[in-house]
């Protein structure tokens, strides 16, 4: 067979199909008629990872997409570097003796017949680009001749170009599949967002939803603050739906769920070879969300060093991938959320003040469930419907009316998430008839409070403060006797004294209960403890903070 006919038939085999596996099977079938081989593999030298990556192996009957990293010895590293620089053909007479052969033998064990194999390796190029190392695995030791090497040299250039086109098509096809899957996921999320109704938008969340409406068409950064379980992600979804970027990408990332060592890779992406395992380029969340919205949940969990890098991106609107040198311009609307007291964290030096003001352009504070108890019946009804479907409950579920009083009085430290879990637990145990939800409440309503935050702590603190104040008062001798008009007044009870003291503090704080400068902070107690005491003492203030 002439060289022309050989090359023509070889190229026809490689280009016989756009399906990579099928094309490689056809190529093996042709080459095995002219060369004593049991396998064809392609690998790429990755010096930054001190390894080579096996892309595929084709044998007589199978095609294996390996995508396997093979660590290299120093000797193999040096040999491959010389091989790539010279772009010559590497002839290994023994699979078991050559250091490179040992590495490949270990990786391909189980895919090819056992025994000692020789191998031929050629650097495939397309112009100045190295496509990879084509390895012909021989049937036995010393099976390749100079004529076989000449054939490999003859086919190296056209095969390199054809292989690059085929690999590029496979890469494009895989990327398209990932994009299609991502599009399906986004379509599902968008459909879910459209169906999701905010419970309480006409009740306890009325003010919040009015503020969300003010954001219609805006791309201003939004900072959502609220206790855990108050529905911050749902509000973020609502903000995104009315934003100027509502038709763009919408990505979410929980900053508290990502280890510190991976934050940069997740947010900014990385270049191939930046670290062990970085086999391909990967765009970060900022790049993926460019033209749309990025929701950063639990922003208060970021370390100070991560805050610095995030601030730079928000200021400059550019990112640099880990291991990269190119600045990539991005256009992303940021919605951040936290259950942490960022103002206090700024004072403590654990959250950057400049980052806070960069995020806090439009703040949204979500009320806890204990401050929107009018929404509890609607939420319960919604969760009953949800879990009736999930648990395949066909019978009607009713809530015992006398249990609602206890649900209203409970402080719900876990907020809506805690209520949802309680309904799921109740329906799992009692899937029919009337359900007493109150029996699933914690036996100790203050279980989540520390000793200093317990209800009795406030009473003890005020008693000690009153006693200390009285001990410092010394009446002048001329007034050592109590005036007659005061003798007739009964002394204040402890509850009345406590009510007077709390009212004074609330007046000083302009009615603000929680948050920085609130009454709870001045009294050094938990806000929920203070609210319970106010309710018991019939203290009403319009601004609850």
Mean pLDDT by groups of 10 residues along the chain of 545 residues: 88 87 91 93 83 86 81 80 71 54 70 83 84 89 89 87 82 76 63 62 85 92 94 93 89 92 91 79 90 95 93 92 86 95 91 95 94 92 91 86 89 92 92 87 66 54 65 53 53 74 84 80 80 80 54
Q: Does domain 200-365 have CATH number 3.40.50.300?
A: yes
Residues 6+ apart with CB under 8 A from 453: 446, 525, 526, 529
What was the pLDDT predicted at 480? 46
Query: Quick one: CA torsion of 193, 199, 203, 204, rounded to 10 degrees?
Result: -90
What was the pLDDT predicted at 44? 85
Residue 488: other Cβ atoms inside 10 A: 7
- Of 83, 114, 117, nearest to 101 by C-alpha is 117
Partnered with residue 211 across adjacent β-strands are none
Task: Give buried/exposed letters for 318-357 (b at 16+ CB in 10 A, else e).
Answer: ebbbbbbeeebebebbbbbbbbbbbbebbeeeebbeebbe
Rounded to an integer, what distance in angstroms lies between the CA atom of residue 100 and that of residue 204? 69
What was the pLDDT predicted at 33? 94
What was the pLDDT predicted at 185? 64
Max Cα distance, the chain (Å): 131
Rounded to an integer, what distance in angstroms lies between the CA atom of residue 232 and that of residue 337? 7
Tokens of 544: 């609850």
Residues 123 and 24: beta-carbon distance below 8 Å? no
The CB-side HSE value for 202 (13 A sphere, CA atoms) comes to 2
- Coil, strand, or helix at residue 498? helix
What fold does the segment set 369-440 form as a domain?
Helicase, Ruva Protein; domain 3 (1.10.8)
What was the pLDDT predicted at 157? 86
Cite the beta strand spans of 103-181 per DSSP E: 119-126, 129-138
Residues 383 and 419: beta-carbon distance below 8 Å? yes
Domain ranges of the chain: 3-172, 200-365, 369-440, 455-474+484-536
What was the pLDDT predicted at 488? 54
Tokens of 63: 């095609």
Rounded to an integer, what distance in angstroms lies between the CA atom of residue 71 and that of residue 51? 4
Homologous superfamily in CATH for domain 3-172: GAF domain (3.30.450.40)
Residues 523 and 501: beta-carbon distance below 8 Å? no
What was the pLDDT predicted at 478? 47
What was the pLDDT predicted at 90? 61
Rounded to an integer, what distance in angstroms lies between the CA atom of residue 303 and that of residue 280? 27
């Amino acid at each position: 067979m002439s060289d022309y006919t050989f090359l023509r038939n070889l190229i026809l085999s490689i280009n016989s199909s756009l399906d990579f596996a099928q094309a490689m099977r056809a190529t093996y079938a042709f080459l095995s008629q002219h060369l004593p081989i049991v396998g064809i593999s392609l690998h790429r030298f990755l010096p930054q990872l001190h390894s080579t990556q096996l892309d595929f192996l084709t044998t007589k009957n199978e095609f294996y997409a390996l995508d396997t990293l093979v660590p290299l010895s120093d000797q193999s590293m040096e040999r491959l570097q010389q091989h790539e620089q010279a772009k010559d053909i590497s002839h290994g007479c023994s699979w078991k003796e050559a250091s490179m052969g040992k590495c490949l033998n270990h990786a391909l064990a189980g895919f090819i017949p056992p025994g000692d194999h020789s191998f031929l390796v050629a650097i495939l190029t397309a112009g100045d680009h190295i496509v990879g190392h084509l390895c012909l695995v021989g049937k036995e030791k010393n099976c390749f001749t100079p004529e076989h090497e000449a054939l490999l040299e003859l086919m190296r250039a056209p095969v390199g170009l054809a292989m690059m086109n085929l690999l590029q098509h496979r890469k494009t096809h895989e990327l398209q599949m990932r994009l299609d899957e991502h599009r399906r996921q986004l379509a599902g999320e968008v459909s879910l967002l459209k169906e999701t109704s905010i419970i309480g938008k006409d009740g306890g969340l009325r003010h919040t939803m009015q503020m969300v409406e003010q954001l219609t068409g805006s791309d201003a950064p939004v900072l959502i603050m609220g206790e855990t379980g108050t529905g911050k992600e749902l509000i973020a979804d609502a903000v995104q739906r009315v934003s100027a970027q509502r038709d763009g990408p919408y990505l979410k990332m929980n900053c508290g769920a990502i280890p510190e060592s991976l934050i940069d890779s997740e947010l900014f992406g990385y270049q191939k070879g930046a670290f062990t395992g970085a086999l391909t380029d990967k765009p970060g969340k900022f790049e993926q969300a460019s033209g749309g919205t990025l929701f950063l949940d639990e922003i208060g969990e970021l370390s100070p060093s991560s805050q610095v890098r995030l601030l730079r991106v928000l200021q400059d609107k550019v990112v640099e991938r880990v291991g990269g040198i190119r600045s990539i311009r991005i256009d992303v609307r940021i919605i951040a959320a936290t259950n942490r007291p960022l103002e206090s964290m700024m004072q403590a030096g654990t959250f950057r003040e400049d980052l806070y003001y960069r995020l806090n352009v439009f703040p949204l504070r979500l009320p806890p469930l204990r401050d929107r108890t009018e929404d509890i019946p609607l939420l319960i009804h919604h969760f009953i419907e949800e879990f009736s479907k999930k648990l395949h409950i066909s019978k009607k579920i009713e809530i015992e009316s006398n249990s609602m009083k206890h649900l209203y009085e409970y402080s719900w430290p876990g907020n809506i998430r805690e209520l949802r879990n309680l309904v799921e637990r109740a329906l799992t145990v009692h899937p029919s008839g009337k359900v007493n939800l109150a029996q699933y409440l914690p036996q100790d309503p203050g279980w989540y409070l520390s000793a200093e935050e317990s209800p009795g702590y406030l009473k003890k603190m005020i008693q000690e403060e009153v006693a200390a104040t009285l001990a410092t008062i010394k009446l002048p001798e001329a007034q050592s006797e109590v005036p007659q008009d005061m003798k007739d007044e009964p002394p204040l009870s402890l509850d009345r004294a406590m009510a007077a003291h709390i009212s004074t503090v609330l007046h000083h704080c302009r009615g603000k209960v929680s948050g920085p400068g609130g009454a709870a902070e001045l009294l050094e107690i938990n806000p929920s403890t203070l609210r319970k005491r106010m309710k018991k003492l019939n203290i009403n203030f319009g601004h609850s903070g």
